[in-house]
Amino acid sequence: MTNKYIIGVFDDEETLLDAVRKVKEKDIDIRDVYTPYPSETLLEILKIKSYFTYYAFLYGFGGALALLAFMYYAAVIDWPMNFGGKPSEAFPSFIIVTIVLTIFLITVLSLFTFSVRTDIYPGRKAIMPDPRSTDDKFVMVVAKDQIRNMEEEYHQMLKDSGASEVYEKEMELKIKP
Amino acid sequence: MDTKFTLTSKYKYISGALILIGVAAFVYGFITNPGRSWANLLLNNYYFLSLAIGASFFIGIQYITQSGWSTMFKRVPEAMTSYIPFAAVFMLLIFFGMQALYHWSDPGAAAHDELIAHKSPYLNVPFFFIRIVLFFGLWILMSRFLRKLSLKEDLEGGLRYFEKSEYYYKVYIFILAITFSLATFDWIMSIDVHWYSTLFALKDFVAAFFHAAAIITLIILLLNDRGYFKDLNKSHLLDFSRYIFMLCIIWGYFWFAEFMLIWYANIPEETMYIAQRWEDGWIYLFYGNIFINWFIPFLFLMSRDIDRSKLGLKIISIILIFGYWIDLYIQIFPGTVGEFSIGFIEIGAFLGFGGLFALLTGIALSRAALIPKNHPYLEESLYHHA
């Protein structure tokens, strides 16, 4: 199902943040904002709380425990071996493997989480209101039915706050941030 | 922007009282137990000296990487380096306690001990003190010179002083890398003269940098409580906590790397060092060391709510003050005193040196504008936003 959206393109972060603040003040629901790099302030203004860090912590914590348990099972319970009289429960030597694999697990599982959350998979065509947001432009997307009565006013407002382009586009956006 | 830190009389009285406690502790200590007192002198003097060295390394890093965020706070680590000349005096005083601290300084030791005889071209009393004079000479010279450049910049302005400081901080970091590594070998590792670890210098250098970053943060937060540094914002706090967080990981990494290699190789000369620290009493501090200095900052600074809160950073910095003391205690005391004991001498000596350090830092802070003027990155620092 396609919808009509109004897309504002900005040249730098500061003007985008100003515009987002102004739009928020008018109680207009912002559909999404696309930036070339992550912006913490933007999340604060949009009042979006990211749970990504909690997931990363969980992956790290669970991963470390699972790895230690696996190494304990392999080296102590299932197949103890004697290396020069050393105890088979060689805890300090487990640590290095745990560090390295924990980092690996966090990275890979975070990537999967990100992929699920943003609906991006290998082979899927990325849904992007304006592809230049991967380059150097900042893009704000607002659904057209949000601003039914004051379309012109809205266009003017974006222009005033420094948007380099404002245009309308019909497309399908699935995820709501 | 013309803020100046004024040294209140209350500050002077409190630090004076702490110094008096320290003097009392040392008088009591030298009468009852001279060996333990010398170990305390070495521990506390090294503790605050390494904070000063770590602080100058901290500014050096800021200059070399051309970091803007920390410019506003530059005077705090600068003030901390004013302890270095006093550390030189205490370090030279160690001459009278050589026998109590360093087994190798015993003239008869080399006769029956092949290893000490082998090390004696480097580890002998005259050369030891030549090195002390050389190290401190370089440190005092460089830190004074760089401080002077920083003060001149306030008066005259221009890019010249910034570029000059950047260049000389590069030189200073080179000097520190060599001299401070050798200093840790000389003063701390040679206590256990039969033991050696090539990671030792790096580990202690990182510890100095790590805890200096914590102390700088603590001083800035305490000044902020009293109305200075009004422009301190969450981004600054986040950067400070990132420093502490990153350094706690590096410190833990080196601590583990040293321990792991010794444990794995299982060579008697090396494992002796750890075995001694696994005896009753010491073992709690041995594990307490890694728990306090690595686990606590690592776990708590991960949280978004703690890593940019003033209270959270303050609590962690204060915990790290104790952590560093434990780290050095476990390095110095088993080889010198030999028995586990924490009493009036230890607490009093630490309070005394702490008072002296606080007083010197306070005096140095009050002598110049608290926020540097004319620094090219000052504006960036005042409106720092991550």
pTM, two decimals, is 0.89
- Rounded to the nearest 5 percent, the helix, strand and coil shares of chain B are 80, 0, 20
Q: What is the architecture, at CATH level 2, of domain A3-50+132-171?
A: 2-Layer Sandwich (3.30)
**What would the pLDDT profile of B167-200 be if each residue is shown by its tens digit?**
999 999 999 999 999 999 999 999 998 898 889 9
Q: Which of B260, B302, B385 sits opposite A92 (nearest CB)?
A: B260
Tell me the residue range of the domain where B210 lies. 9-377
Residue pair B352/B18 in contact by the 8 Å Cβ criterion = yes
What residues in A contact B259, CB-CB < 8 Å?
92
Percent of chain B with pLDDT strictly greater than 90:
70
Residue of B172, B147, B166 whose CA lies nearest to B365: B147
pLDDT at res. A160 = 85
Mean pLDDT is highest, among A78-92, A156-170, B39-53, B153-167, for B39-53
Q: How far is B188 from chain A (nearest CA, A)?
A: 25
- How large a percentage of chain A has pLDDT more than 70? 97
Residues forming CATH 3.30.70.260 domain(s) in chain A: 3-50+132-171
| Residue A119: burial class (beta carbons within 10 Å; 0-12, 13-18, 19+) | exposed
Specify if B98 maps to a domain. Answer: yes
Residue-wise pLDDT tens digits, B295-337: 999 999 998 889 889 999 999 999 999 999 999 999 999 988 8
What pLDDT score was predicted for residue B240? 94
The per-residue pLDDT for B385 is: 80
**Nearest-by-CA chain B residue for A54:** B303
pLDDT, position B2: 55
Residue A2 CA to residue B342 CA, distance in Å, equals 74
Residue B99 is assigned to a structural domain of this protein: yes
Q: Per the domain annotation, does B2 fall within a domain?
A: no
| CB contact (8 A) between residue B302 and residue A57 | yes
Tell whether the model's pLDDT for residue B232 goes beyond 60: yes
When divided into structural domains, chain B yields a total of 1
Cross-chain residue pair B386–A40, CB shorter than 8 Å: yes
Single-letter amino acid code for the residue at B133? V
For A158, the token pair is: 């974006």
Task: Tell whether B383 is covered by a domain.
Answer: no
Split at pLDDT 50, 70, 90, the class of B162 is very high
List the single best residue of B250, B263, B294 to mutate versus A (max A Cβ within 10 A).
B263
